[in-house]
Structure 1
């Protein structure tokens, strides 16, 4: 195996769950949180010596990662602490020339596999050289007897020797079919790696032949031509170095390409240089490559010079960045650390931490911090976490005394909407759990929501700013709630894949965790994990998030129809014994059933959770309740699976606070609105400039009220610009781009009405 050069941190880890969790998306999608996957640093690594003032510093007792969305877009730019693993097989498929992807055989009907598997010696060589690059490229897909027939060692030696002979007169283009020979050899190494038992081993015979072939090719004068014609074959030949694991032997070739390269090189030659990244990165896994670099320090300085000389090309996803990042592997190796330290120190301090050079500096910083632990003073980076917070999080917004948002890029309207969503969720949460205030010794009086612009920026910066894992969709840190001044924090990112719609991924689910920890669960997270509580912790977060947002939980309803688990089994769920479906979908179902069918038991359970009586809570669930509700739960699941799960709590807007009972505001309601037949209940509100949508709704009560709206004066049946006149009191008006200033609406009593609720919202 060739493990990733960027390992994952075992610190602050919760038991691993699969995170390919498909979730329905709504406003501030919850995407239930997953138990921890490994993060960015090697196991046992301590935190960096310096942490930002806004950070909790050392690992917090309660640190819960959440899953990435399956829709998180790929980004071509490298990410610090990315769990990308080096491929265990040689690179598949062609990257240049006519064959730009490893196509299936059906895509190349003219390519006859038997023409390769049924020939050997000169006939095989002629077949390879006469085939098109597209045809040869399909051979990466071979398996079974075809793989053995085409790529056993004797066949590979034959083609390697042919490349050696062809290279002697290589003209700098593919007129002699050197490209097909190189691509065939690359395909052979790839297929043999994945089908060793069938193809058979590769030994010294092939090693000698491939060295002869590559020696001859790189000795050919025209292999140095700076042309696209040469670059097409050269790029494949560079990759072949790694496919054959001859990385150490050809460090001189890599040095030459890096030293000669300029930004004006043609595209195929640039690809050839870019392919040296694979030779370098995977070379660090080979002892002979490390020995070669140890004996020749000029390799490292040549690569560093390549970066500084071509720094004008850096845009975050360029070959300079990607090759430069590989210099970090120097300090990850005991034998090369002395070479690497001055190089990393120079590059980290030479280029800005944000902007186009951010991927380069942050990745190199990761190596310096995680692979050369405890030496931030040597690199001059001890204050980097504190520097990054204001550089990256340029938005600092206070919703109220209990809620603050630090963001990378949010508009005033997005901030206002986020504050409103969270503040209104408080009332909904308390209505569900019926708490009597915070649990004892909980000082988490406020929450800081950190919102990066997208997953890329979250992964690039959050690992250093907050010392967290970033191979996830966000992180909630409760810290130690008993500690005065402790800062609870949810570190999140926008769901960029949903733009232009604005969402913060997992927001309402994670805010429920904050509220649950403060009002229901005594102590820190570790205390609450002494007995199985995950069914409640994750189930409640799903229940509140979906119910509060009025979103239908399709995945949970589909699971209910399957009837997979008994209720008593779900009480035993932990991050260790349950997959994401059981944790989130089934946690939601268990919590919903208990809240609807046995609220007294929930009250009794929460009384024990709030007192930290974990054993008492466990006895209630497993002994007092035990299996007694399993049969009823099974019946309820059948009904729920048919989309009849029962009633959810309503999410009402807060009461309007203006003294004038006719006055409404953004997101507020008035109850018990009434008027006698033929009369009106008049109302108004003042809109700021830029409102895109105003919604007025009426519900409940008796009689029949019709809703009228007017922008310029009191709304009546004879003066209005919009109306809703259904039977009863269920009326809704949505006004697009209403004017700023006073707008008016009224309820006309078609039949005397009373007890109606009127709500206004706008964005």
Structure 2
């Protein structure tokens, strides 16, 4: 099983002091082996640890189109997210500065007076606040009788439509759009919409789209047309007006005015709504089944305008929706050749990547088992060198595959992870890796931003992408297994470079290798999330010497008892409990009851999950709850106790650059290909653990062998 859903509110981990975090395991078979293809058997998928979401994370699992895609100039058709209403209010605020909008007449009128009030508004933007109505106001303004009145008026006005908004038709359309939106979100307040409105709205849309001037290719017509097209979707009349969609796609060229291009974009909304499984009443699929030329016109729209493809254009946005054809049982036969042609016609990366990868998603996810037909069975293998053009080795235990990182960024990232390794062992005080754990190396995969992560990571590594990244431990007992953290740069923090969640995720790797027996799934047999996520947060913030403000704020709320936090799972908790309170629980236990932590980790390392659970729930039980509450009070006042010192170990001071001492480092270690860099240190009696090896007392000699020449490496020794 792979891809436990990512949880959590976004939190920022600065690379500055430090870079990434990852928990990875040795890479074994290529990513392609994790996919099921025709005539092959897929390898077991790596186990995954959720990663807190990035601010850009999508709510679904389909790859995003580019962020530069055209945005709606007003709220999208109902049903939609509440954010649209907020957007309308913001737009109204801007418009109101230049236009005197008074909606009092609209709010209090009915019948012909309502129609006149709407037409008299000085600008169509004056209707935007109507999308925000709720409660009694919503019911009074948008009850069905009001909607029928305005719809009938639109039908009458359409007979003489002049190709612009001189007669106020735009305000009538927007009132109807707002009504559907508000009723969709406040049906109890507004009441049901029935056959009377359906009959009326069909008559008004019939009349508008039949009006000769509604086909003018002008900015003036487009301003009203694009809202009328959206009204099709609002009213769930997608199938009845599939011909309007066909007409727009057939006529579109890159020379169309902006508002007309927006009408084509909104035709995409009609298409998308028409395939919505919750809209069985839209009739869109039936319309495409009855007229196959709609689909071929749609595909021709893409190829005819392919010069525009850049990821954020209307051709990409509407074209990638063609994939819905192969996801529908009744349309799959007509959709397959069209989708196949586009997938194989355009490059997988660059300007055409968003189109091709979205179509690949439909083919892979909704027409499963047919990758040989589409020619995509080897796509994961093909994509890795095309997308991840940077391949950098930090050391024998750590490699970075990246889409775009500079030499300095790579060096800083490697240094951060290597130094964090020593810091982790200082806190955990382990005796080496768990016997049989073969996850000796980690691969960090860094996409350039969340957009590229969403576009490619799902197929390259077989993961969900509605998250901030994914750590895959795999089976640490399997030879050839590869632990991997698949991440992306936090592009919203640029020019500061940071790989999202790296220090947190690297702790997962270390924790899995040195604290938790078996694979990720084994560690989930009892509630361990308080520790798994708590230690990742604790190490991340402590290592970077960073104050965890969100957790300290939570401490003051005293939401949970310590004994309750021992029961945290991914299923029963939100991101605040998982991350903020996991941190607080782990910090308290490490600082106040280190011997209990040592006992607990001994059981985790032995895979004694039931024994660990007995320790937490019976031996400790509620015994520390009162003290934890007292500690929370102090922590909320910024007196959480002493953290271990983070950052790099100090430089070694002995004149001989080959010699190390306790807890120090040497920078700029180098060796040419085929040669060694020799080092040594003198251990006193009683040392139980050295991070390099399991040492005897006395002089210890170690060396780095250069399979390839290296320079600028930092080496740290640490022992207790």
Fold shared per TM-score above 0.5: yes
The alpha-carbon deviation at position 145 of structure 1 amounts to 3.2
Distance 1:16 1:317, change over 3 A: closer
Residue 64 (str. 1) matches residue 54 (str. 2): no
Largest Rg, 1 or 2: 1
Task: Confirm or deny: 8 A CA contact 2:78 2:180 kept in the other structure.
Answer: no
Match of 1:460 in 2: 455
Q: How does 1:592-607 map to 2 (within 5 A)?
A: 592-607=587-602
The alpha-carbon deviation at position 542 of structure 1 amounts to 1.2
Task: Give the secondary-structure state (helix, strand or coil) at the position aligned to 1:442.
Answer: coil
Deviations 1:172-193 (A, max 9, x none): 1222222222222222222222
Task: Confirm or deny: 8 A CA contact 2:21 2:417 kept in the other structure.
Answer: no
Rounded Cα–Cα distance in structure 2 between residues aligned with 1:169 and 1:100: 33
Task: Confirm or deny: 8 A CA contact 2:58 2:64 kept in the other structure.
Answer: no
The alpha-carbon deviation at position 23 of structure 1 amounts to 5.1
Residue 127 (str. 1) matches residue 113 (str. 2): no
Distance 1:568 1:177, change over 3 A: closer
Aligned partner of 2:540 among 518, 522, 545: 545
Task: Give the secondary-structure state (helix, strand or coil) at the position aligned to 1:174.
Answer: coil
Distance 1:311 1:567, change over 3 A: same
The alpha-carbon deviation at position 203 of structure 1 amounts to 2.0
Match of 2:9 in 1: 20
Distance 1:629 1:178, change over 3 A: closer
Task: Give the secondary-structure state (helix, strand or coil) at the position aligned to 1:230.
Answer: helix
Q: How does 1:89-128 map to 2 (within 5 A)?
A: 89=79, 101=91, 110-128=100-118
Match of 1:690 in 2: none
Match of 2:686 in 1: none
Aligned partner of 2:296 among 281, 298, 301: 301
| TM-score of the superposed pair, with normalisation by structure 1 | 0.78
Q: How does 1:327-338 map to 2 (within 5 A)?
A: 327-338=322-333
The alpha-carbon deviation at position 247 of structure 1 amounts to 1.1
Unaligned stretches of 5+ residues in structure 1 = 1-10, 34-45, 674-682, 688-758
Task: Give the secondary-structure state (helix, strand or coil) at the position aligned to 1:275.
Answer: helix
Shifted more, 172-181 versus 221-230: the winner is: 172-181
Distance 1:486 1:262, change over 3 A: same
Rounded Cα–Cα distance in structure 1 between residues aligned with 2:667 and 2:234: 73
Shifted more, 604-613 versus 173-182: the winner is: 173-182
Distance 1:374 1:140, change over 3 A: same
Rounded Cα–Cα distance in structure 1 between residues aligned with 2:43 and 2:653: 44
Rounded Cα–Cα distance in structure 2 between residues aligned with 1:213 and 1:121: 16
Aligned partner of 1:180 among 163, 171, 191: 171
The alpha-carbon deviation at position 273 of structure 1 amounts to 1.4
Q: How does 1:505-584 map to 2 (within 5 A)?
A: 505-584=500-579
Deviations 1:329-373 (A, max 9, x none): 111110000011001100011111111111111111000000001
Q: How does 1:248-263 map to 2 (within 5 A)?
A: 248-263=239-254
Deviations 1:674-733 (A, max 9, x none): xxxxxxxxx99999xxxxxxxxxxxxxxxxxxxxxxxxxxxxxxxxxxxxxxxxxxxxxx
Rounded Cα–Cα distance in structure 1 between residues aligned with 2:587 and 2:82: 49
Distance 1:484 1:159, change over 3 A: same
Rounded Cα–Cα distance in structure 2 between residues aligned with 1:301 and 1:540: 55
Rounded Cα–Cα distance in structure 2 between residues aligned with 1:344 and 1:617: 53
Task: Confirm or deny: 8 A CA contact 2:327 2:366 kept in the other structure.
Answer: yes
Residue 326 (str. 1) matches residue 321 (str. 2): yes
Residue 501 (str. 1) matches residue 485 (str. 2): no
Residue 199 (str. 1) matches residue 190 (str. 2): yes
Match of 2:255 in 1: 264
Deviations 1:451-471 (A, max 9, x none): 111111111110010000111
Rounded Cα–Cα distance in structure 1 between residues aligned with 2:4 and 2:664: 49
Task: Give the secondary-structure state (helix, strand or coil) at the position aligned to 1:489.
Answer: strand
The alpha-carbon deviation at position 304 of structure 1 amounts to 0.2
Match of 1:625 in 2: 620
Task: Confirm or deny: 8 A CA contact 1:94 1:102 kept in the other structure.
Answer: no
Task: Confirm or deny: 8 A CA contact 2:38 2:369 kept in the other structure.
Answer: no
Task: Confirm or deny: 8 A CA contact 2:143 2:190 kept in the other structure.
Answer: yes
Distance 1:231 1:669, change over 3 A: farther
Match of 1:680 in 2: none
Rounded Cα–Cα distance in structure 2 between residues aligned with 1:213 and 1:496: 46
Distance 1:64 1:211, change over 3 A: same
Deviations 1:296-347 (A, max 9, x none): 0000000000000000011101110010011111111100000110011000
The alpha-carbon deviation at position 26 of structure 1 amounts to 5.8
CA RMSD of aligned residues (A): 3.5
Task: Confirm or deny: 8 A CA contact 2:19 2:413 kept in the other structure.
Answer: no
Task: Confirm or deny: 8 A CA contact 2:58 2:467 kept in the other structure.
Answer: no
Rounded Cα–Cα distance in structure 1 between residues aligned with 2:378 and 2:616: 49
Task: Confirm or deny: 8 A CA contact 1:655 1:669 kept in the other structure.
Answer: no
Task: Confirm or deny: 8 A CA contact 1:539 1:586 kept in the other structure.
Answer: yes
Rounded Cα–Cα distance in structure 2 between residues aligned with 1:81 and 1:335: 30
Task: Confirm or deny: 8 A CA contact 2:631 2:640 kept in the other structure.
Answer: yes
Deviations 1:112-140 (A, max 9, x none): 44412433333222222122223233322
Task: Confirm or deny: 8 A CA contact 2:11 2:52 kept in the other structure.
Answer: no
Match of 1:342 in 2: 337
Rounded Cα–Cα distance in structure 1 between residues aligned with 2:484 and 2:82: 43
Deviations 1:379-427 (A, max 9, x none): 1110111111000000000111110000000011111111111111111
Rounded Cα–Cα distance in structure 2 between residues aligned with 1:599 and 1:395: 42
The alpha-carbon deviation at position 646 of structure 1 amounts to 2.1
Task: Confirm or deny: 8 A CA contact 1:99 1:134 kept in the other structure.
Answer: no
The alpha-carbon deviation at position 13 of structure 1 amounts to 4.7
Residue 435 (str. 1) matches residue 423 (str. 2): no
Match of 2:677 in 1: none
Deviations 1:206-259 (A, max 9, x none): 222222212221121111111111111111111111112111111111111111
Deviations 1:559-615 (A, max 9, x none): 223333332222222222222222222222222222222222222221111111111
Task: Give the secondary-structure state (helix, strand or coil) at the position aligned to 2:91.
Answer: coil
Match of 2:144 in 1: 153
Residue 143 (str. 1) matches residue 128 (str. 2): no
The alpha-carbon deviation at position 90 of structure 1 amounts to 6.3
Match of 1:753 in 2: none
Aligned partner of 2:37 among 49, 61, 65: 49
Rounded Cα–Cα distance in structure 1 between residues aligned with 2:503 and 2:112: 68
Rounded Cα–Cα distance in structure 2 between residues aligned with 1:137 and 1:522: 58
Distance 1:236 1:561, change over 3 A: closer
Match of 1:392 in 2: 387
Match of 1:282 in 2: 273
Aligned length: 644
Residue 380 (str. 1) matches residue 375 (str. 2): yes
The alpha-carbon deviation at position 442 of structure 1 amounts to 0.6
Q: How does 1:563-712 map to 2 (within 5 A)?
A: 563-651=558-646, 653-654=648-649, 660-661=655-656
Task: Confirm or deny: 8 A CA contact 2:3 2:463 kept in the other structure.
Answer: no
Rounded Cα–Cα distance in structure 1 between residues aligned with 2:366 and 2:437: 37
Match of 1:227 in 2: 218
Please identify runs of 4+ aligned residues in structure 1 that moved more than 6 A. Answer: 29-33, 71-74, 90-95, 104-109, 668-673, 683-687
Distance 1:534 1:544, change over 3 A: same
Match of 1:756 in 2: none
Flag the structure with more relative contact order, 1 or 2, with Cα contacts below 8 A and sequence separation at least 6. Answer: 2
Match of 2:703 in 1: none
Task: Give the secondary-structure state (helix, strand or coil) at the position aligned to 1:101.
Answer: helix
Match of 2:700 in 1: none
Task: Confirm or deny: 8 A CA contact 1:63 1:476 kept in the other structure.
Answer: yes
Task: Give the secondary-structure state (helix, strand or coil) at the position aligned to 1:562.
Answer: coil
